Amino acid sequence: MNDFDYVNRTYGVNACIGRRVIVYGKSGTIIKALGHYIGVNFDESKPGKTSRCHPEDQVTYLDEIVEPRKATRSQRRYGDYLASDCCNSFAEWLGIERKGRA
């Protein structure tokens, strides 16, 4: 059972990672399963940015499957910081000493 089984079974679509889609007239690539939704990285967005889209709401599924664009190094680092659930600032988490602060 894969992450898209529920969406595919419930809505009768063919969602998978890398599938090209057009949502509300904007083209993008499915990059993540989000429960009842699909996570789409639109071509106009930064790599790795996920937009939550309903699988049937004006979505056209294309036959093309591509390698999703990778998040930038700084996006991955910030994601790691958020996932760490620490109470430090991002600068402190990075180990950057901020000048002029007491």
Give the phi and the psi of residue 101 in degrees, each rounded to 5: -110, 140
Question: How many Å apart are CA 51 and CA 16, to the nearest integer?
Answer: 15
What stretches in the chain show pLDDT beneath 70?
A: 1, 98-102
Name the β-bridge partners of 76.
Answer: none
Q: What pLDDT does 28 receive?
A: 97
Question: How many Å apart are CA 31 and CA 9, to the nearest integer?
Answer: 19
Sequence-ordered list of residues with C-beta below 8 angstroms from that of 84, at least 6 positions apart, any chain: 93
Give the phi and the psi of residue 93 in degrees, each rounded to 5: -60, -35
Report all structural domains of the chain as residue ranges with CATH numbers, in order of start: 5-70 (2.30.30)
Q: Is the pTM of this model over 0.85?
A: no
